[in-house]
Amino acid sequence: MTSLRALSMPFHLTSLLLVGFVATFLAVLGIASGPMALIALPGIFILVSWLNKYAFAQLEQAANGVSDAPVASLEMLGPFGGVRPWVHPVLAGGLLYLMSVVSPPARVAVSVVALPLFPASLAALAMTHRLTDAINPLALWRVIAGMRGTYLLLVAAVAVVAVCGAGVQAMPVWAVIRYAVLGFLLLCLYTLIGGALHARRLELNFEPQVSPERSAERVEAEYARRRQAMMDEVYSILKVRNGVRAGEVLQRWLAESGEHHLYADVPIILGQAMQFPERRGLATVARTLISHLMQVKRLSLAVTVMETVSAVTTDFTPASEAEVVALAGYAVPAGKRSLARAMIQRWVQYAGDAGLSDALRTLRAELA
């Protein structure tokens, strides 16, 4: 969706105003004759360079997933402020000179080879920022292979723009209209190539500034930061031996973060708790995790927590007998009979034999 929105950049007011401004002054300077024509050349050069740099800026904006049109700043005037926008105008000038000195059949051959490679050359330069990649066969092939069918659409777009440009040049229209149409076609073509580059970013191993992947990374990083802040708070509370309050903080986090985070959160939280200097803190965290997992019917994950904690301590028990019964009952058919037996034995040692429920007595007899 971001790539499609980028295609609207040539229609933004900033883009249209720049095209109109450049077209108007090119038309004015184009009527100069005699000595005035020489004076007008620097102005024409500045205007064309401004439009060219702006087109390349739009390409980079689209390639990086930004759908807003760039600002047509004064820094884009003249030949300064970056070499990359000048690579393809220089290459185009070289091709035009080559075509002027070769035979007509050779001109057709040069056009057939050069035009299909133009999108790959421009995309390779935008991706790597290396000037040589604009003509590097390996870099060009990497772009073509990564874009696959999309590249055929880009080649078709280049052909359409070339035909439209030639048609406008031949039409008997005002010069300002001719220049405006050509400038607008240039912006559309560059933006289309940039949007395709963003759309095929995964296949091209290109990392734009804005993408669903980067947005997900930022969201995940922020979530991890808040989870770490919660664990820091839990640890600080446990240091003053307030296990009830620490459990409440952890329980609130688990409830607010949602069930879809449990399978990622529980191992991380438990792993950090196992680094606590006192086993009492680990027991508080593990009991809170197990109680919450039982409430949301994630018994397999609760058994995993129990198994992990049992590997480092021999006296840990869940918070209630009902949890022991449920966990042991789930562990038996899962092939964890020894874990179920150990849970029951520890609970008996903790609560005594007299107050055991019938369900726990029955389960203990089955496992004996």
Q: Is residue 215 part of a domain?
A: no
Tell me which residue of 350, 349, 348, 342 sits closest to 367, measured CA to CA.
342
State the Cα–Cα distance between residues 166 and 174, nearest whole angstrom.
Answer: 15
**Separation between Cα atoms, residue 47 and residue 55, nearest integer Å:** 12
Q: What is the pLDDT of residues 6-27, one digit of tens each?
A: 788 999 999 999 999 999 988 8
pLDDT tens figures, 129-164: 888 988 999 999 999 999 989 999 999 999 999 899
Displacement of CA 152 from its chain's centroid (Å): 25
Confidence at residue 225, expressed as pLDDT on a 0 to 100 scale: 94
Q: How many Cβ atoms sit within 10 Å of the Cβ of residue 141?
A: 12
pLDDT reading at 173 higher than 90: no
Q: Provide the token pair at 99.
A: 């075509």
Q: 104 to each of 94, 96, 160, how far by Cα in Å?
A: 17, 13, 22
171: left (phi over 0), alpha (psi -120 to 50) or beta: beta
Contacts of 72 (CB under 8 A, 6+ apart): 14, 15, 17, 18, 50, 54
- Measured between alpha carbons, how far is 16 from 18 in angstroms, rounded to an integer? 5
CA angle 336, 285, 238 (to 5 degrees): 150
Same domain, 40 and 64: yes
Indicate if 69 and 154 belong to the same structural domain. Answer: yes
Which distant-in-sequence residues (6+ apart) come within 8 Å of 4 by Cβ? Answer: 195
In a shared domain, residues 268 and 328: no
Rounded Cα gap, residues 119 and 146, in angstroms: 13
Report yes or no on 216 lying in a domain. no
Does any domain span residue 67?
A: yes
Say whether both 52 and 200 belong to one domain. yes
Same domain, 241 and 195: no
Residue 218 lies in a domain: no
Is 341 within the bounds of a domain?
yes
The mean predicted confidence, pLDDT, of the chain is 87
Which of 179, 210, 241 marks a domain boundary?
A: 210
Is there a single domain that holds both residue 7 and residue 102? yes
Quick check: is 217 in a domain? Answer: no
Residues 6+ apart with CB under 8 A from 356: 321, 348, 364
Rounded Cα gap, residues 24 and 278, in angstroms: 78
- For residues 150 and 293, membership in a common domain is answered with no
Cα gap 53→290, rounded to integer Å:
60
Question: Same structural domain for residues 312 and 326?
Answer: no
Pair (87, 9) in one structural domain: yes
How many whole angstroms separate alpha carbon 137 and alpha carbon 122?
13
219 within some domain: no
Spatial contact of 139 and 148, defined as CB atoms under 8 Å apart: no
Which of 316, 340, 357 marks a domain boundary?
316
- Give the pLDDT band (50/70/90) at residue 1: very low
Give the number of other CB atoms < 10 A from CB of residue 103. Answer: 9
Three-state DSSP class for 303? helix
Mean pLDDT for the stretch of residues 247-259: 91
In a shared domain, residues 261 and 128: no
Number of domains composing the chain:
3
Does residue 95 sit within a domain? yes
Task: Answer yes or no: is pLDDT of 70 > 90.
Answer: no
pLDDT at 211: 67
Instruction: Choose the final residue of a domain: 185, 210, 235.
Output: 210
The pLDDT tens digits for 210-240 are 666 777 788 899 999 999 999 999 999 999 8
My answer on whether 39 and 133 are in the same domain is: yes
Expressed as residue numbers, the domain containing 298 is 226-316
Q: Do 179 and 233 have their domain in common?
A: no
